[in-house]
Amino acid sequence: MMPLSRWLRSVGVFLLPVPCWVPLERWLCPLRRPSLVYRGSVLGAWHSGRCWCQAWTEEPRMNGDQKLDVYDQAKEKFLQHFPQIVKVLTEDDMKCPDTGDAVARLREVLEYNAIGGKYQRGLTVLVTLQALVEPRELDADSLQRALTVGWCVELLQAFFLVSDDIMDASLTRRGKSCWYRKPGIGLDAVNDAVLLEACIYRLLKFYCREQPYYLNLIELFLQTCYQTEIGQTLDLITAPQGHVDLSRFTEKRYKSIVKYKTAFYSFYLPVAAAMYMAGIDGEKEHSSAKKILLEIGEFFQVQDDYLDLFGDPSVTGKIGTDIQDNKCSWLVVQCLLRASPVQQQILQENYGQKEAEKVAQVKALYEDMDLPAVFAQYEQDSYNRLVALIEQCASSLPPAIFLRLAQKIYKRKK
């Protein structure tokens, strides 16, 4: 049987591989990206069809195990830019006798906490901008700014993770000890987290102050930070330490926590930042992007909750503690939706407890209820639903932006 990707490429000129489009794009010249500027439905449909072709003729990448995708291709440039980020944030101040040792501490904080992740959030800024503008418009300075904004997203992530690890009393992060658990750090990590956040606005000012989208980026990061902190507040007050109230773990509350704590900063922030940098600031475009990206964010967090318990710590890089921490996770919500009175009693007696045997009881309960199979079905259904949503809502933007994100996280193991 002919593979789907080959069949799609064979059915007509609109589905030819990318190189075949180059002469036609040059010929169309000013109407090259009509769907972004709303120039006529025919050409807009042409561009959307072309983007769908590019996305669909690329088979889903299962956690980057296949050939290099655009994220893998961008990663080398992204990592090479990090020393420049550290230099801008520390070099001049290191020479100041009053603050030199504090800035040396900042350098250590940056190098320990900003490095070692998947960099998907930061890379999304660069990959999205490359999808929205012509290659010739992305000159060296524009590329530097895109890389920097990507690192600003990663620094925001580092700020949240350092803080979250303290609140959750986590043990490991990205395959090493949490920052606050390092000898001599402790609760001083609270101040280190605040320093990481402050670095974002220093970088935006240094690289983007003269750009027309500077204010939009500042407001986007401030709003996203607030939304995420509201999400963290919902998470904390839903599951206070030392008090287990399973009646609070509803699907509605879970979705609210996920939307604010994870989806805005993990998915909407990097794409919206790239859109502003590409000159796309219309409410319609951002509303469409947000609708898709918040759904992707929920999908991502459900995966995270599953991997917290059923993932391999040597792969995920962290030891899950959602059960011990009394978290309103997807697993406990699904358990409560399906549990018999006897199973609810087992959960009530063991959830939110630190003892290893009680954690094991909860895990055994989840397995008895076949929650791994429930998750597998959820993952497949969610991916299919996302593809349909992208087809419905992404007409004003290249669908490949969203499809790549969905494909990047589909069936991930970490």
Taking the C-alpha atoms of residue 352 and residue 150, their distance in angstroms, rounded to an integer, is: 36
For the question of residue 235 being annotated catalytic, the response is: yes
Exactly one of 105, 168, 253, 310 is catalytic; which is it? 168
Burial class (CB in 10 A: 0-12, 13-18, 19+), 274: buried
Identify whether the C-beta of residue 297 lies closer than 8 Å to the C-beta of residue 259.
yes
Exactly one of 164, 248, 255, 358 is catalytic; which is it? 164
For the question of residue 261 being annotated catalytic, the response is: yes
Burial 128-156 (b: 16+ CB within 10 A, else e): bbbbbbeeeebeeeeeebbbbbbbbbbbb
Exactly one of 192, 304, 322, 325 is catalytic; which is it? 304
For the question of residue 92 being annotated catalytic, the response is: no
pLDDT at position 41 is 37
For the question of residue 77 being annotated catalytic, the response is: no
Exactly one of 9, 32, 107, 118 is catalytic; which is it? 118
For the question of residue 408 being annotated catalytic, the response is: no
For the question of residue 370 being annotated catalytic, the response is: no
Exactly one of 82, 249, 300, 402 is catalytic; which is it? 300
Q: Secondary structure of the chain in the HEC alphabet?
A: CCCHHHHHHHCCHHHCCHHHHHHHHHHHHHHCCHHHHCCCHHHHHHHHHHHHHHHHCCCCCCCCCCCCCHHHHHHHHHHHHHHHHHHHHHHHHHCCCCCHHHHHHHHHHHHHHCCCCCCHHHHHHHHHHHHHCCHHHCCHHHHHHHHHHHHHHHHHHHHHHHHHHHHHCCCEECCEECHHHCCCCHHHHHHHHHHHHHHHHHHHHHHHCCCCCHHHHHHHHHHHHHHHHHHHHHHHHHCCCCCCCHHHCCHHHHHHHHHHHHHHHHHHHHHHHHHHHCCCCCHHHHHHHHHHHHHHHHHHHHHHHHHHHHCCHHHHCCCCCCCCCCCCCHHHHHHHHHCCHHHHHHHHHHCCCCCHHHHHHHHHHHHHCCHHHHHHHHHHHHHHHHHHHHHHHCCCCCHHHHHHHHHHHCCCCC
pLDDT at position 263 is 97
Query: pTM for this structure?
Result: 0.83
Cα–Cα nearest to 172, from 310, 320, 304: 320
For the question of residue 305 being annotated catalytic, the response is: yes
For the question of residue 145 being annotated catalytic, the response is: no
User: 201 Cβ partners below 8 Å, 6+ apart?
Assistant: 218, 221
For the question of residue 39 being annotated catalytic, the response is: no
For the question of residue 300 being annotated catalytic, the response is: yes
User: Measured between alpha carbons, how far is residue 82 from residues 70, 154, 199, 254 in Å?
Assistant: 19, 11, 13, 35
Walking along the chain (414 residues) 10 residues at a time, the average pLDDT comes out as 43 36 34 34 42 46 55 94 97 84 96 95 97 92 97 98 93 94 97 98 97 98 98 94 91 98 97 98 96 97 96 89 94 97 96 95 97 97 96 90 94 90
Exactly one of 50, 145, 261, 404 is catalytic; which is it? 261
Exactly one of 50, 61, 145, 173 is catalytic; which is it? 173
pLDDT at position 36 is 38
C-beta pairs of 273-276 under 8 Å, 24+ apart in sequence: 273/125, 273/149, 273/153, 273/217, 273/220, 274/124, 274/125, 274/126, 274/128, 274/129, 274/132, 274/146, 274/149, 275/128, 275/132, 275/397, 276/213, 276/216, 276/217, 276/220
